[in-house]
Amino acid sequence: MNCNIAVIKGDGIGPEVVSEAMKVLDAVGAKYGHTFNYEQLLMGGCSIDVHGVPLTDEVVERAKAADAVLLGSIGGNTSTSPWYKLPPEKRPEAGLLKIRKELGLFANLRPAFLYNELKGACPLKEEIADKGFDMMIMRELTGGLYFGARETKEVDGVMTAVDTLTYNENEIRRIAIKGFDIAMKRRKKVTSVDKANVLDSSRLWRKIVEEVAKDYPEVTYEHMLVDNCAMQLVKDPAQFDVVLTENMFGDILSDEASMITGSIGMLASASLNETKFGMYEPSGGSAPDIAGQNKANPIATILSAAMMLRYTFDMDKEADAIEAAVQQVLVENYRTCDIVSEGTTLVSCSEMGDLIAARV
């Protein structure tokens, strides 16, 4: 199969970890007879340095022409980087919001899986970690509070800020369908998270989810208030399969879920539109403090590439091969600096990529 991938390495550790993911993809191609063609594009701070904006219209069009996008991390040190002296709409993260909107990437998938080999890094009690967990946070990505109308103005002599949270039934329905579809491929359980005891948008969310659930009789589902969900994630994460929620709640809960795995450097993510097109990126940030030092953990980006093979290209056995290679490397006790512990072998970012590629 011939696959055209737009590669946005981004800022900070982005170029390092994306290079390792490309290395692993090339190993997959060599083994299974696929060709991965890469077109490298700029977005984020590196685009500001060259073009003065975090994302150009040309890059958007070239990304649309690809089969999928493989993305590194965007942004820098918010206290020292000149990028953050710019207006908000010109900062690196504005490019990320824009490309998600332009590509119609409304469904964000963030798996949180606790590897047996990394249970010692899990911050939860041993008896909770020993049960393990394997969940998928399904977050609506292009609606809600982050994309609503906003303004800051003086009202009766008092500075007042307004952010608008809006969802319509079509936006809710399409993310719910994605969530139930993913559940059908997993353990057939959906936990829909909202704040229906307070918010009208959540009451509509709950109504539409119940309508969609009728089309999936094999899937069990439940509603859970977001504050309770935040507690349950640290009390009993094993109960969750697919967690379906809106944009801001998903932003917060997915970060919480990532940290109970022991390291955000282990967690992949995918953002999908209504076709098989997707953008695949690690869940972590650009880590400017270790950029260029060959210390970063590339596993999240490598696993994101595996998600790309699975969800965009329908290459399940190839995705399985990458995931098995990651597992094998962990079993053999190789670790990057964020997950190293006594009795394990410290390796660099590029060495970790080599090890995984060799085991594909």
> What are the E-state strand segments in the chain?
2-10, 35-41, 68-73, 107-113, 134-140, 150-155, 158-163, 189-194, 220-225, 242-245, 268-272, 278-282, 334-335, 345-346
**Residue recorded with tokens 């009390």:** 235
Q: Are 320 and 300 in contact (CB under 8 A)?
A: no
Active site (annotated) includes residue 255? yes
Active site (annotated) includes residue 11? no
| Euclidean distance between CA atoms 100 and 97, whole angstroms | 5
Catalytic residue among 64, 119, 195, 295: 195
Active site (annotated) includes residue 215? no
| Euclidean distance between CA atoms 138 and 186, whole angstroms | 13
User: Which of 224, 230, 106 is CA-nearest to residue 176?
Assistant: 106
| Euclidean distance between CA atoms 66 and 4, whole angstroms | 5
* Alpha-carbon torsion (302, 250, 313, 103), positive or negative: negative
Catalytic residue among 11, 67, 194, 251: 251
Active site (annotated) includes residue 251? yes
User: Which of 137, 113, 131 is CA-nearest to residue 238?
Assistant: 131
Catalytic residue among 57, 215, 227, 314: 227
| Alpha-helical segments (H) within 72-167 | 92-102, 126-129
Q: How far is CA 16 from the centre of its chain?
A: 18
Active site (annotated) includes residue 163? no
Q: How far is CA 222 from the centre of its chain?
A: 24
Catalytic residue among 32, 38, 84, 146: 146
User: Which of 21, 17, 12 is CA-nearest to residue 360?
Assistant: 21
Give catalytic residue positions.
Answer: 146, 195, 227, 251, 255
